[in-house]
Every structure is written in C-alpha cells, then in structure tokens.
C-alpha cells in the first residue's frame, strides 16, 4: 500500500494508464487508503470538470481527464 501522498497519486496514475476508470480507482485504490478522508468532491477549472479527494495530510488528489495530480 502506498505510504505517502505522492505514492498514492502514482498508484492512481498507474491504474488510469492501465485503463481503469475513476469509480474503479476510487473503490480499489483511494477509498480503502487511510490517508483519504471523506467523499470525492467536484470542481470546474479552466472549463474542465475535476474530482477532488481530500487527504489527512492537507493535500488533495485531483482527478482530471488527462491525469491524477497532487496539490
């Protein structure tokens, strides 16, 4: 299991590159991880819808069409 936020984002990105959709990544990678708190939220930025997942570290994982990223 990934230990840091960066490793968690890398696991999400790996799953995306393997063809997994967000619901699958949420169910298998994110939801069971102890760093993840709450449910995903939605936002729009630059005309693109994004899914935002809050972490206990204060970081957020952002899921966009092109990639997962940490902020």
Q: What is the pLDDT of residues 19-62, one digit of tens each?
A: 999 999 999 999 999 999 999 999 998 888 999 999 999 999 99
The length of the chain, given as a count of residues? 71
* pTM of the entire predicted model: 0.91
The answer to whether the beta carbons of residues 51 and 22 sit under 8 Å apart is yes
CA atoms in the 13 A half-sphere facing the CB of 54: 8
The answer to whether the beta carbons of residues 25 and 12 sit under 8 Å apart is yes
Q: Which residues contact 21 (CB under 8 A, 6 or more apart)?
A: none
Domain count, the chain: 1
Under the banding of pLDDT at 50, 70 and 90, the label for residue 1 is confident
The domain in which residue 51 lies consists of: 5-70
CA 12 to chain centre: 6
């Amino acid at each position: 299991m990934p230990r840091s936020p960066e490793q968690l984002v890398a696991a999400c990105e790996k799953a995306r590159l393997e063809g997994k959709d967000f619901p699958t990544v949420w169910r298998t990678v994110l939801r069971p991880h102890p760093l993840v708190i709450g449910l995903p939220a939605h936002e729009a930025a630059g005309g693109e819808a994004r899914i935002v997942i809050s972490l206990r570290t204060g970081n957020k994982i952002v899921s966009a069409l092109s990639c997962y990223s940490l902020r």
